Structure 1
Amino acid sequence: MADTDRETKRRPDPDALLALADSERRGKLTIFLGAAPGVGKTFAMLARAQQARAEGAEVVVGLVETHGRMETQNLLSGLQVLPRRAVEYKGYVLDEFDLDAALALKPQTIIVDELAHSNPEDSRHPKRYQDIEELVAAGIDVWTAMNIQHLESLSDVVAQITGTPVRERVPDGVLNRADEVILVDLPPADLIKRLNEGKVYVPDSAARAIESFFRIGNLTALREMALRRTAERIDDQVVNYLKQNAIEGAWAASERLLVCIGPDQLSEKVVRTAGRLATGLNASWTVVCIEHADVETGDSEAVRRLDATFRLAEQLGADTRRIIGTDFVAEILKFARREHVTQIVIGAHEQPLWKLFVRRSLADSLVKEAGGIAVHLVTADQDETPAKKKRAPATFSARSLVRPFGIAVATVSAATVVGRAITALIELPNLGLLFLMAVLVAAALEGYAAAFIAAFLSLFAYNYFFIDPLHTLAVAKPHAIFALVVFLAAAVLAGSLAARIRDQAKAAYRRAAAMQALYDFSRKLSGTLKTDDVLWASVSQLQASLKRDAVLLLPEGAELNLSAAWPPDTELGVSDMAAARWALDKQEMAGHGTSTLPNSTFQFRPLMSPHGPVGVCGVGMTAGDLDINEERTLAAILDQTTVAIDRSCLSRTSLEQAARLEGERFRTALLSSITHDLKAPVAAIAGAVRTLKDRGGEIAPDERQTVVQTLETESDRLGRFAGNLADMTRIETGTLSPKRDPVDVGEVVRAAVERARRLFPGQAFEASIAPGLLEMTGDAGLLSQTLANLLDNAKRHGADEPISVYARKEGNEIVISVTDQGKGIKPADLDRVFEKFYRRGHVDGRPVGAGLGLPISKGFTEAMGGQIRAESPAMKRRGTRITLRFPALAPENVAT
């Protein structure tokens, strides 16, 4: 048992194996990483390419920037260089990497230099690292190069060290997903020597670079970052190898980071710092934002800043959450303990001295309440503090105070008038309650501003009209001053509480309205099974909720088609369709506001179900970015839409499966029928053949005639059976083409009855043809075959009673009926008798016939423009009547 447990523990990690299997289907990404320009990254790539070419490998140069260095230029000799794509940008012609040509050529390995490069505006991807990701996804090995300062999580640190902002950035995930990271290292002194020798920049540029960026301190710090990041990458590779091969060893403790952010400017620095910390600890991390449960988000700038911070966190590899609550400390710690967080990262803002006496800051409260969870405080830089203090101007304007001021004046005036009227009748010592009521009414009607204005107006009105000496603002008695101060404090406090309750009520109403709308939408979708109905309901709900254009696209084979749009005349351009296709293929957002085809006016999001992407939703962004409430509404609608589309697809699949099962049932019935119906004629023919073979000339003439009659009858029976199958096939495939000739109905009926009498000598057939019966337009052969099938069916179920055929004229129609006197058909089965393989009679426990006669008759009749119907009982409360109706030929068209 111990050995079994030990073997179980040594099993490879499933996630690591899945990651390994996925990497084998993709191309390999190799990144040559350097601390600074000039260390020799491109030289190292080309030198490796020459060595690979000498060993027989296929290496193509997609794009290489030699910067005029001859030793690097010489390494291009003998390598296939892909022609560049000419792009016109702001009056200049730029030579850019041709992604489509590389995908069409699909070499084994391609070199694409300058990983952090930004593409021109009209390119498919705004960044070159996205071009490289597409190449890798296509199964092409890519070699590329970048400097450590271009890494997203380090860009702010590099800017602080070097004093130069980093504009070109690469998400950390690109480096983390690389299959191989090769560090190209050069000591700072050697790099500066190369600069002085003109091997990196021209002399004038080199001199300026040495004075600014290429200083010993800067290069040493950058070199340390590159070494550390490469070491971390190697450590990750070692851990993955141990997991994939189930090798036991020392495992690092599992660290989990929780990063708390808000809409402030410091949050971006908090996320970057946490990203570096998580990378250094090789830890998973989650970024959360706590939002008030009772306050609506009103600052659009703050919302956009918060959304940008969330996108940055996602680019750096973090999970993101939004939590609703009022007690921030309690919500953060509850989430941290539920998710087993070991460290919390939060920004620490500089607070005014007076606030320290009122309450603790959020960071101080977390430090006190964390209880075993490490708390990291990220502070703002000194040069950021003044800008932060200058930010956030007053949110009130003169125009915005007009209505609150009017409400406050009205309520205080009303309280004053009522108070004066009361004091004229009776002396009351507590008239201040009237003004307190005025403050509450103002707060309930207009909020905080009206409450504060009403509180101060009430103070002056109360003092002026009701406290001695009257009609002055002077206070005669000391205790009256205390009463006024208490009154003001109570009024302000009561007004604040009333205003807060008002805001909470409004927020609750908005949320209730949104929830009701989503509930109604959910109910509408729950009763909808057709995909088209789901799509139209969804786009109309999106447009009504967001007041933006909405489109839904569904994949059909290899194509992505616009399936629903609101307004219905909405059209998508080429860039829009490209962004939608990207969202479906890559299962990530594309279009406006993203890094993929941002010039599109729509933002496209994949609809992800448990079975994979089921479609793409596009939302118009001409009205600006979505705020946090719109994001929530959009996410809720898309979730429900995805479930409904997935359900409709499953329903359609279920119907297709049911159809396949029905087809299998039909095939089984056909095989059973063929097996049974072929046995009798085949056995009869085989017996007749054996009789002729064994006895030969010894057979008497009468017996010979019987044997020949048997051969003829059973052969005809086999022929009819094969003909039925062929006729059914023609009807099903739509290849039946009946003639449109005048048909003498009486003659066809007589011939069919005579034929039936020959086939069934013991059966009585009665034919009745009305005199003067007109002709019809049709196919005499098909009509004859139809009557033959009906007579054969009547013989099978007629109980040896006479079968009657009657042809007559009713109005402008010719009616032919075939009636038997059998048991008849149940009312519920009258329509089913025309279904394929439906058989209603049994002989010796087996169904009678193949179940093809009546369906073929129905197909022939309808092909000639007629109708067929079954009636039961037909006569004397028993029997079945099959009636055919055809349009009669006009008398003037009858041939004479």
Structure 2
Amino acid sequence: MANTLRPEDARRPSAKAFLELATNERRGKLKVFLGMAPGVGKTYAMLSAARALKREGLDVVVGVVETHGRSETAALLDGLDVLPRRTVSYRNRTLMEFDIDAAIARRPALLLVDEFAHTNAPGLVHPKRYQDVEGVLQAGIDVWTTLNIQHLESLTDVVERIAGITVRETVPDKVLERADEIVVVDLPPEDLIQRLKEGKVYLPDNARRAMDQFFQMGNLTALRELALRRTADRVDEQMLSQLRRQGIEGPWPTAERLMVCVGDDELAEPVVRAAARMATALKSDWIAVHVVQSEREQTDRGSVRRMEKAMRLADRLGATTVRLRAKDLTAEVLAYAKRNNITQIIVGRSRPQLLDRWRGKSFSTELVAEAAGPSVTVVAPDAPLAPLSSPWHLPDISEFWSGGIAAVVAVAGGVIAGRMLEKITQLPNLSMIFLFAVLVCALRFGTYSAVAAAVLSFLAFNFFFIDPRYTLTIASPYELFGLLIFLVVAAATGGLAGRLREQANATRERAEATQALYEFSGKLSATTEIDDVLWLLAAQSAALVKGKSIILLEHANELSIAGGWPPDDTLGTADWAAARWAHRNGEPAGYLTETMPSAAFQFRPLIASAGPVGVLGVVPGDADEALPSATGSALQSFADQAAVAIERTRLFEQAAKAATAAESERLRGVLLSSISHDLRTPLASILGSATSLRQLGDRMRKQDRADLLATIEEEATRLSSFVSNLLDMTKVETGLLDIRRDWVDVADAVRGAAARARKIFPARHIETVIAANLPLIRGDAAMLEQVMFNLIDNAHKYSPPESVTRVSITPATGGGLHIRVTDDGIGIPPEALNKVFDKFYRAHVGDGRAPGTGLGLSICAGIVSAMGGTISAQSPIADGKGTEISILLPAGEESVSTETSPKDTA
């Protein structure tokens, strides 16, 4: 059955359009007053519209407005709230800048920020004012701003060709594309020139210079067309978005996909800007691709810098940047274009190499000839590019001297070796010695040194070994031919060996980065402690960038230094600001980035699945060079893996805390169950006896009433003991147990506990053995007596009624006292010996009395520990039964002898 389209489906709104709308609702609205040149009235128009809203009751605040001495503009500021500027000292000058913090703290409904492309003074949070505006928009504040068309990043080269000026302050095109509204402030060029002549734009001297250079009719007409075209494109895009949100059917134009090939020559940036303009005009996504030949490594630092700068420019302009490696550049570019459905390829006219000139081919011409799907646009330079004289880059000064000296030394060594061999034997192939010297220079010092050694070997071999010797003339034609062949072979062999060395060095660097990533991943997988993760990340990151690193983690919504290599616990103000920005926005910040580049560290966020957990900061060993792409990718992999590991360790900690909480909850349940049972029994007895006395007191016999009163007293005493034990245990656990440090005669404490036990348990037998001349100890007599009573009570509970409980006190070896409480009971299982002093633990059923709370021995252990002693249990002690509880108490500072009977039994 065929599917039919219902009418309501035909007008179904686009999900993507609604997603974009929802995203924009969370941020402030941006309105840009766009003009073709200074003086057209952008600021005047913005202030006039703002004053109208102010009269309607809207909270309008001026963040920063530059009047440039224009009285009409300055008059419009009257009646508007103006934020104070932020003062910044720079090179003995005081600069007044926009204060983003004050603006966000004020939180107006509408904020006016003039000169969108302005460059901030060094040391502020953002290097550009448009980044300040983005921060204000993220805070949910609407912003109006002004911009001239020449400040768009993709148009700077066009403006330079039109007006002959270099634009220093630029705004990425994607920032303007995110604007909610663009208002063109238009003025005919003739009227603008007239305003300039009347002194309404610049002072007279500046006005004359401006008219001679920038404010010319042709320049202004071209800039006016650029502004109107860009605004028309923006209006068309807004209309399409509105149609998508309303679900109105197309037909929609098929989306174009552009790809720009980024090289490493002077044409790289103009090609990127041209691609950005085309992508904006076509409203399409675009990709910036740089392809490196597998057998040829780029070692020229200038070329690498140009390529990296162009790729960063493409990223700022909204492109997706991709780096590829291939043997055949043309085939790889076309294959990538086919895989990614590219419809247009933009490439710069290739710089002709010597071989390319002989063949009549270059990369751009081959791409045009072999493209069988996408259209190819070749961007031509303003002036013809000079061909390269050789495929090798010129060496720097250090390479020049080291390579040249090495070539001279190697050839001189070859001459000496050849002369010595001539004296020993006649060799027809002495040229091999010089070929060996060329190879040594190539493998050790590179291509330049090899070529120099080949030329020197050519001259030295002719001068010292070819007749007539010691001249540069050659007698035989075949000798000349052989010498030329030697020069070609030596130069080619040296060049190939030098290229092989350069490729080996680059391969080694990539292998080192890969090996570091492999080792980091392996070690990271075995770490379970967060300190190990941080140490590993800091050490490996510092080794990767050949510099230093620092790690900051979030605690209580604030970053703090958690590790670093080498260890460091300080950061500058700019570094702290960059770290917080990177953590808050989830993007790199600091050194060699677009945000706070004055910072010493480059910070990368550590983002886990639940969000950012901290930042990683690095300082490259070579501070003058940007991180290579391979190193940057490996560093980002370090950060991503470390963030996951940090999150994993924290989850382990949370799981452990959850297990502890669950165990605590279980123990709490056990405690409540035990206490409820232990308290319910005496309370039931008390309640029953009291009820019987109240209801039947007069009719009961005197003896029965006495028994009930005795029951009430006994159960109340038992209840008091339970409550006392709970309070004592709470004091022990919280450290609030008040232990006095008085002189205590342990013998008296033992006698008091025994007497108390005999009174409560008259049928039980207690035997005390107290040695003579016992020293006094420092402690609490009442607490010690409570300990002894608990131990005697525990011994009674788990031993037969006819057995004897023995208590002995003897001097301990090394000083102090040794107290033992033994019984002849059933004993304690071996596996329970380490648990009997735990809370709520009961090994056996007692003597028939209601079970206790399991706190008696725990309280004993806490009191003994507070008095500086130790307590332990041993079982069995004789014939497989019996238990002995031993206490060791330290002696006091002074010993006082006490005369005590050797044995006191009852």
TM tier, smaller: 0.7 to 0.9
Residue 775 of structure 2 contacts residue 898 of structure 2 at CA under 8 Å; is this kept in 1?
A: no
Match of 2:319? 318
Q: Is the 8 A contact 1:460 1:473 kept in 2?
A: no
Secondary structure of 2:400's aligned partner: coil
Q: Which residue pairs with 1:665 in the alignment? A: 666
Match of 1:531 in 2: 530
CA shift, 1:142, in A, is 2.0
1:652 aligns with: 653
> Structure 1 residue aligned with 2:885, among 882, 885, 888?
882
Correspondence 1:60 to 2:65: no
Structure 1, 372-381 or 617-626: larger mean CA deviation: 617-626
Going from structure 1 to structure 2, the CA distance change for 1:37 and 1:506 (only over 3 Å counts) comes to closer
Q: In the TM superposition, what is the alpha-carbon distance from 1:545 to its structure 2 partner?
A: 4.3
Partner of 2:555: 556
Is 1:609 the counterpart of 2:608 in the alignment? yes
Q: CA deviation at 1:775?
A: 3.1
What is the Cα deviation at residue 271 of structure 1? 1.6
Match of 1:120 in 2: 121
1:522 Cα offset (Å): 4.3
- Paired position in structure 2 for 1:853: 856
Query: 1:290 aligns to what?
Result: 291
CA separation of 1:367 and 1:837: change in aligned 2, threshold 3 A: farther
SS at match of 2:287: strand
Partner of 1:810: 812
Q: Determine the structure 2 residue equivalent to 1:141.
A: 142
- Aligned-partner residue type, residue 185 of structure 2: V
Measure how far apart 1:879 and its partner are: 3.9
**Cα drift, residue 802 of structure 1:** 4.8
Change (3 A) 1:414 1:140: same
1:47 aligns with 2:34: no
**Deviations along 1:707-765, whole A, 9 cap, x unmatched?**
22332333333333333333333333332332112233233333334444555566655
Q: Which of residues 871, 874, 886 is equivalent to 1:871?
A: 874
Contact 2:354 2:387 in 1 (8 A): no
- 2:625 corresponds in structure 1 to 625
Establish whether residue 172 from structure 1 lines up as the match of residue 178 from structure 2: no
Select between 734-743 and 213-222 the one with higher mean Cα deviation. 213-222
* Cα displacement (A) at 1:824: 4.0
Secondary structure at 2:547 match in 1:
coil
Determine whether 1:831 maps to 2:834.
Answer: yes
Gaps of 5+ in 1: none
Q: How many residues align?
A: 889
Contact 2:35/2:148 (CA < 8 Å) preserved in 1? yes
Q: Structure 2 vs 1, CA of residues 9 and 333 (structure 1 numbering), >3 Å: closer, same or farther? A: farther
SS at match of 2:697: helix
* Residue 315 of structure 1, CA deviation: 1.8
Q: State the match for 2:596 in structure 1.
A: 597
Coordinate RMSD, CA, aligned: 4.2
Letter of the 1:285 partner, please give it: W
The match for 1:303 is 304
Separation (CA, whole Å) in 1 of partners of 2:497 and 2:201: 69
Matched position secondary structure for 1:30: strand
Q: CA separation of 1:452/1:389 partners in 2, compared to 1, >3 Å: closer, same or farther?
A: closer
Partner Cα distance (2:531, 2:325) in 1: 35
> Which residue number in structure 2 is paired with residue 733 of structure 1?
734
Alignment partner of 1:77: what SS? coil
Q: Distance in 2 between matches of 1:22 and 1:397?
A: 57
CA distance in 2 between counterparts of 1:760 and 1:814 reads 27
Q: CA 1:487 to 1:852, structure 2 compared with 1: closer, same or farther past 3 Å?
A: same
Paired amino acid for 1:300: R
Q: For residues 370 and 419 of structure 1, what CA distance do their matches in structure 2 show?
A: 61
Unaligned runs of 5+ in 2: 900-906
- Give 1:167 deviation, angstroms: 1.7
1:578 partnered with 2:571:
no
SS at match of 1:883: strand
| Deviation per residue, 1:7-34 (Å, 9 max, x gap) | 9998876766555444444333322222
Distance 2:299 2:599 in 1: 27
- Shift of the 514–677 alpha-carbon distance from structure 1 to 2, 3 Å rule, reads same
Distance 1:271 1:815 in 2: 89
How far off is 1:165 after superposition?
A: 1.8
Alignment of 1:150-299 (within 5 A): 150-196=151-197, 198-202=199-203, 205-206=206-207, 208-238=209-239, 240-241=241-242, 249-293=250-294, 298-299=299-300
Three-state SS of the structure 1 residue aligned to 2:836 is helix
The alpha-carbon deviation at position 351 of structure 1 amounts to 1.7
Q: How far apart, in 2, do the equivalents of 1:820 and 1:274 lie? A: 95
User: Judging changes above 3 Å, is the alpha-carbon distance between structure 1 residues 394 and 806 closer, same or farther for their aligned structure 2 residues?
Assistant: closer
Cα gap change, 1:501 to 1:353, in 2 (>3 Å): closer
> 1:362 — aligned with what?
363
Matches of 1:208 and 1:463, distance apart in 2 = 66
Q: CA deviation at 1:890?
A: 4.9
Aligned CA distance change for structure 1 residues 711 and 238 (closer, same or farther; 3 Å): farther
Note closer, same or farther for the CA distance 1:502–1:247 as it changes in structure 2 (3 Å cut): same
Q: Is the 8 A contact 1:529 1:648 kept in 2?
A: yes
**Residue-by-residue CA offset, 1:106-136 (whole Å, 9 max, x unaligned):** 3222212121222223433332222222322
Once the two structures are superposed, residues 207-235 of structure 1 have per-residue CA deviations (whole angstroms, 9 ceiling, x without a partner) of 55444433343333323322333344344
The 2-side partners of 1:729 and 1:8 are apart by 70
| Secondary structure of residue in 1 paired with 2:168 | coil
Residues 322 and 880 (structure 1), Cα distance of their counterparts in 2 relative to 1, 3 Å cut: farther
Letter in 2 for 1:581: R
- Preserved contact between residue 408 and residue 450 of structure 1 (Cα < 8 Å): no
Deviation at 1:461, TM superposition (A): 8.5
Give the Cα separation in 1 of the matches to 2:377 and 2:799.
95
Residue identity in the other structure for 1:138: A
Change (3 A) 1:202 1:378: same
Q: Decide whether aligned partners of structure 1 residues 338 and 828 sit closer, same or farther in structure 2, where only a CA change above 3 A counts.
A: farther
C-alpha contact (below 8 Å) 2:404/2:452 kept by paired residues: no
1:488-542 Cα deviation digits (max 9, x unpaired) = 6555555544444444444444444454445444444444333333333433444
CA distance in 1, matches of 2:391, 2:187: 45
Q: Tell me, in whole angstroms, the C-alpha distance in 1 between the residues paired with 2:99 and 2:190.
A: 37
CA contact (8 A) 2:271 2:379 kept: yes
- The residue identity in structure 2 corresponding to 1:355 is D
Q: 1:328 is matched by which residue type in structure 2?
A: L
The structure-2 alpha-carbon separation of the partners of 1:301 and 1:820, relative to structure 1 and needing over 3 Å to count, comes to: farther
Change (3 A) 1:438 1:669: same
Partners in 1 of 2:765 and 2:14 — Cα distance?
A: 82
Q: Distance in 2 between matches of 1:16 and 1:856?
A: 70
Moved more, 395-404 or 760-769: 760-769
Deviates more, 1:730-739 or 1:20-29: 20-29
- Inter-partner Cα distance in structure 2 for 1:238 and 1:799: 97
Give the structure 1 partner of residue 99 of structure 2.
98
Using the aligned pairs only, state the percent identity. 46
Q: Tell me the distance in 1 between the aligned counterparts of 2:781 and 2:210.
A: 100
Whole-angstrom distance in 2 between the partners of 1:726 and 1:810: 32
CA contact (8 A) 2:118 2:169 kept: yes
Is 1:419–1:434's contact at 8 Å kept on the other side of the alignment? Answer: no
- Tell me by how many angstroms 1:267 deviates: 1.1
Is the CA contact (8 Å cut-off) linking 1:263 and 1:303 kept in structure 2? yes
Find the residue that maps to 2:877 and give its secondary structure: coil
Cα separation, 1, equivalents of 2:68 and 2:662: 68
Aligned position for 1:372: 373
CA 1:486–1:31 in structure 2 vs 1: closer, same or farther (change >3 Å)? same
**Hey, what's the Cα distance between the residues in 2 that align with 1:336 and 1:879?**
88
Residues 39, 837 of structure 1: CA spacing in aligned structure 2 closer, same or farther, 3 A cutoff?
farther
CA distance in 2, matches of 1:354, 1:547: 39
Q: Match of 2:625, as an amino acid?
A: D
1:77 aligns with 2:78: yes
Q: SS at 2:84's partner residue?
A: coil
- Distance in structure 2 (CA, Å) of the matches to 1:783 and 1:178: 80
Contact 1:349 1:380 in 2 (8 A): no
